[in-house]
Structure 1
């Protein structure tokens, strides 16, 4: 081609290949510009990028009211969830709330392991939704700005009028149904089963209605993607899908919260197990709905609620900004219905419905409900072929309801399936007391990774395997009283590094010592068995068959504060036995066969507050035996064979408040025996063979409130015997061989005395 420009000639060579390439590039550029909404001037109004601008005049009053209602409900629910999560998992803040506010929010004072940051982390997503819903409600001005290219692309392909909108909805609804079904069906079914076990007719009715309403929502949610894919180009299908999303989201949230609130208000039973639990006689069990269940922290449980609210936020935004005056598709441009999308939608719905049916019939919860068998609730048992008892097969309900405390005491259990407790990783307290287990299989408790208290009282255990307690790294209390164990080894306790209380002894009624609550075991000797348990604070080995104690048994237990070796057959205590137990506060050595206490037996026990040596065969106590026990408050020496107490025996016990010497063979009390006991409040000398009380015996006991001299051989009381006991409130002098008419007490000397026995006031 030759071109002439102002008398200049030029030749232009046009290459066909180059023109084709330029044409292709121009075509690609045109497509890209079209995608970004840059060619709106040549398009019809319905498909331009300006369609994103909200035309307020096109929104009908019903649509506006529905959108506002959706936003208000979602806002209230989001705020409620944020407050609940923050207060339930922030114990320090919860403890400062008034009882009225705690009751109003269905909160309790139960201790929580979560920190302030964890509570804030759980509440923050809901607070974000609160802010978003507030902005949607308050900022409803029409936007006239040209949309961003990404918004144009999204609307063109995935928006309400987009080409792939039906497929997007189908995929998202599949995800929604899966999350809701897997996250909630078993939980809500477990609530109905719980109500059936409690036999609460009102709770059963409301929870059953709520469960089937929730299941109906899931079924409808599974069906409507099929309708949308069968009629992808109709206005009612697309716009109806948006409203249906909102209705389902609200339905899921309200049914879930309604059932949870009913369960928390109606379902709560507290029981207790009797036994030896250290300083306690009972162990409390509550089957109340756990906050972890009502307001879960796991992904499925947390996401099942949060996803609904977040989705509702998106739907509200779409409904608020869509231009309702434009058609979904222009007339004459509807695509022919395609067979494959319809088949895909039907297959998807059938698959979702099948999943729901499978979940409904395979879950060990309502409507299956254990076959109405609640004998082992919250676990499930079957008849044990090897015995007349039952075998625990599974504990689905306890796992589903996230119960932290499971009480299976006195259920006639004779065996436990090795996998029965595998799903109870959240349980913190478990009782199998008063059953017949004989022995524990290795690894039985391996799935109880959070267990802190295990009660195996009176289960007729005869032996323990070295791996019986494998997996119980968090265990703090182990109750094994009233069994038939003959030995205990370090290998058995090696898996319990955090153990604080080990209870193998008996327990008696404090008011009636002859009444046995639980017995001990049959352990005869102890070696260095606690070398892996440095956190031990309480050890009860009372009512066993111990004949001796290895000096290394308690070595290294620097945190031990409570030790009971009562009701055994100990004849002597090696001097090194209690060395290193600097934190020991209570030591029980009563009712053994001790005849003497070597010098230095209690050396180093500077924090000891109570020492029980009653019921032994002690004939004498050397001076200095109690040296170094400056914090001792109670000393029991009753029921021994003591004939005399040398002066200075109690020297250094300046904090002693109670001294019991009843049931010995004391004939006299030397002057100065009680010298230095300035804080003594109770002195029990009944049941001895005292014939006289020197006048200076009780000198210096100005804090004494109770004095018992009954059942002795006293015939008279010297003048001035009780001089200085101005705080005395109780004085017992009965069962002495004197003439009660010849002995009287001057009431003016004891202004506080209100209980006098054996003699009368002058």
Structure 2
């Protein structure tokens, strides 16, 4: 049920509706003065733009006073000008989707406590993005995303910026930006999060002179072929997914590489869906603090034995959608809690593959060509809770393969060649609660085997959802009525036990 908007004393000409969350454009007159209470729609909180840092409610030390004015639909754009809103109490201002094409210098000077500003989905030219006049001393979060400047605006470079001394979060996604040709250190001396995803950045010259405060840099879905981490040496989180990098190296690098020399502070690196064919064996020599590494969706055929040995603090490793024929050497990565090797070319799981990974909770091996699992392959995985072996060629598993898996809750063996539960040796997993067995040629279910399983186990034998493609099965199954399946299995168990 829609909540009632509470609007109090926002000039005599500002009206509101208690039945719908919209404004009558003819009722809005600028300048707005004497603002005392928030105009705050539900859509402001649940924005589709995925504001991952610097949300309105988090950026101000005082209770946020919000002016949420997106999509007013006024006959002429409400282009900001000095004094167009006059209030010392407003902390958050949303002017998205208003066809604004110009922001006059000094437009926000009468909002001295403004800490959050959203100018997304307007028509502002790139050269005017940061042309607010005098330094804005209180602004913490600035969002200028998905702008559609005039068609004659062919220069996609931002060449200048005023100073924003307290700005920490800057969102510039989906603006067709090719480069930021000015000193970010001087313009944003306190910047911590910079979002440049989904632009047209095409070389490492797109950015220079970063402030030492920058910890999070998001560069997904651009045209970047190389990046030297000397430029971003203080960054802790680096996202480069969806670019065209071909190798990860330390110092002996070719032109199309991510160079990690000097990346001592890096804790999270995601570089999925690039064109990576090689990771230099000493690539992570300076990145020993790395906890999350995602290289999914590339063209790796091999990872040299010593490549990951330096990452003693690694927690999450994702190598999905490569061409690996063997599990990489993980013997020194004993802090790992999640390993994903989906959709590679693995054929055999060997006894030493996961040796020493006592803290591993999630292991995803679906979509390979696995035909055999050697005895004792999982004996060190006593913390394992989720195991995915779906879409392989398994028809038999050694009898003691789950002997040490006292914490295993979920087992996914869909799309294999099991004909019965006996071939899976499941009685050694007392906490196993969910088994996905769809798309196996199961011809019968033995009551004796069911009786040995956990009394609350749910066995999924076929799809209960609408049909879908091979890649959509997990999503389809997740939408099933699990309670209904559980009740059916419990009824079946009681019937078996009464025979």
TM-score normalised by length of structure 1: 0.47
Contact 1:198/1:267 (<8 A) preserved: no
Q: 2:226 aligns with which of 464, 467, 487?
A: 487
Partner in structure 1 of residue 327 of structure 2: 597
Change (3 A) 1:680 1:271: closer
Secondary structure at 1:683 match in 2: strand
Instruction: Judging by fraction of residues, say which structure has more helix.
Output: 1
Change (3 A) 1:427 1:714: same
**Counterparts of 2:349 and 2:49 in 1: how far apart (Å)?**
38
Contact 1:701/1:724 (<8 A) preserved: no
Q: 1:554 aligns with which of 284, 290, 308?
A: 284
Secondary structure at 2:189 match in 1: coil
Matches within 5 A, 1:603-642: 603-642=331-370
Shift of 1:720: 2.8
Q: 1:503 aligns with which of 228, 239, 255?
A: 239
**Counterparts of 1:669 and 1:474 in 2: how far apart (Å)?**
52
Q: 2:395 aligns with which of 667, 670, 680?
A: 667
Secondary structure at 1:659 match in 2: strand
Shift of 1:617: 0.6
**Counterparts of 1:713 and 1:267 in 2: how far apart (Å)?**
56
Instruction: Report which of the two structures shows the higher radius of gyration computed on alpha carbons.
Output: 1
2:265 paired with 1:535: yes
**Counterparts of 2:440 and 2:84 in 1: how far apart (Å)?**
73
| CA offset digits 1:127-185 (Å, max 9, x no partner) | xxxxxxxxxxxxxxxxxxxxxxxxxxxxxxxxxxxxxxxxxxxxxxxxxxxxxxxxxxx
Shift of 1:487: 1.3
Secondary structure at 2:373 match in 1: coil
Matches within 5 A, 1:115-514: 207=33, 259=34, 262=35, 265-266=38-39, 272=47, 274=49, 282=52, 285-286=55-56, 290=60, 365-366=82-83, 374-375=100-101, 390-393=125-128, 394-396=130-132, 399-400=135-136, 402-412=138-148, 415-420=156-161, 422-441=162-181, 443-444=183-184, 446-465=186-205, 468-494=207-233, 497=234, 499-505=235-241
**Counterparts of 1:289 and 1:586 in 2: how far apart (Å)?**
30
Partner in structure 1 of residue 74 of structure 2: none
Shift of 1:699: 2.0
Shift of 1:285: 4.3
Shift of 1:204: 5.2
**Counterparts of 1:289 and 1:606 in 2: how far apart (Å)?**
38
Contact 1:439/1:464 (<8 A) preserved: no
- RMSD of aligned alpha carbons: 3.8
Shift of 1:503: 0.7
Matches within 5 A, 1:639-658: 639-658=367-386
Contact 2:183/2:210 (<8 A) preserved: yes
**Counterparts of 1:291 and 1:378 in 2: how far apart (Å)?**
28
Contact 2:430/2:454 (<8 A) preserved: yes
**Counterparts of 2:423 and 2:147 in 1: how far apart (Å)?**
63
Q: 1:754 aligns with which of 463, 474, 487?
A: 487
| CA offset digits 1:26-82 (Å, max 9, x no partner) | xxxxxxxxxxxxxxxxxxxxxxxxxxxxxxxxxxxxxxxxxxxxxxxxxxxxxxxxx
Partner in structure 2 of residue 180 of structure 1: none
The unaligned stretches of length 5 or more in structure 2 are 1-22, 65-79, 87-97, 108-122, 150-154, 251-258, 464-484
Secondary structure at 2:126 match in 1: strand
| CA offset digits 1:275-303 (Å, max 9, x no partner) | 7xxxxx85564399955999xxxxxxxxx
Change (3 A) 1:727 1:403: farther
Contact 1:583/1:607 (<8 A) preserved: yes
Matches within 5 A, 1:32-47: none
Shift of 1:576: 1.6
Partner in structure 1 of residue 477 of structure 2: none
Change (3 A) 1:368 1:630: closer
Contact 2:31/2:83 (<8 A) preserved: no
Could you list the structure 1 runs, at least 4 aligned residues long, displaced by more than 6 angstroms after superposition. 197-203, 378-381
2:427 paired with 1:699: yes
With CA pairs under 8 Å and 6+ residues apart, which has the higher RCO, 1 or 2?
1
Contact 1:290/1:402 (<8 A) preserved: no
Secondary structure at 1:722 match in 2: helix
**Counterparts of 1:198 and 1:490 in 2: how far apart (Å)?**
50
**Counterparts of 1:545 and 1:289 in 2: how far apart (Å)?**
38
